[in-house]
Each structure stands twice: as C-alpha cells, then as structure tokens.
Amino acid sequence: VKLKGAAVPLKGLFLAVGAKAPEFSLVGKDLSNLTLSSFGSKRKVLNIFPSVDTEVCAKSVRQFNQSAGKLSNTAVLCISADLPFAAGGFCGAEGISNMVTLWTFREPGI
C-alpha cells in the first residue's frame, strides 16, 4: 500500500476473498459488544474505513447501503474508528438502514 508514492507499513494480514475472518469484538450502536459470531450463519461483508467524515468513506457507506438492500442472508458490516454518536448522526441523515454499523473505539488496534 502506498500513500503519495511512499510505502505505508500495515499491521496484520489481509484475508483472501472467501477466507474465514477471525473472531473479533466491536461496539454496536447501543454500545454493546458485538462479535462476528453475533451475526450467526449469515454471510458477512465487511466495509472497513477510517471515518464517515471523509468524502471517499462516506461515499463507500452510501454505496454499500444501496447494495446491502439487495442481498439476502447477508450481514453487511460497516466498521470505522468514528464514535458511535457521530456516525449514528451521519447514518440517520443519509438514511443508512440496510447494514450494521460497528466501531473500533474500544479496541483501536483492530
């Protein structure tokens, strides 16, 4: 991965498409901890981004929301470092309702 032409070190490994994701715990909109297994046997699609306060990230959330409405037996998880209240305001204002928003603020290294 490069930023402005310079290599940027990444933490961890990227999963291959179709690979099983390891269990993790993130914060749900009611501030409870949710894990990957909280979504049962549904297929999971992960949209991971830093913040909805950036144009590119906000656009990805809007696009994932549109696509999520067409998927059956699938949990579309939007995962960010935003605080739930700020991201919740964005989702409410934008009509984001077809996916689950989760946050890393209790576990910033995830």
Q: What share of the chain is helix, strand, coil (3-state, %, to 5)?
A: 25, 25, 50
Residue of 26, 2, 33, 39 lying closest to 80 (CA atoms): 26
Cα torsion 100, 101, 105, 109: sign: positive
Residue of 96, 97, 94, 77 lying closest to 28 (CA atoms): 77
Does the annotation mark 57 as catalytic? yes
DSSP assigned state of 99: S
Determine which one of 34, 52, 57, 91 is catalytic.
57
Catalytic residues: 57
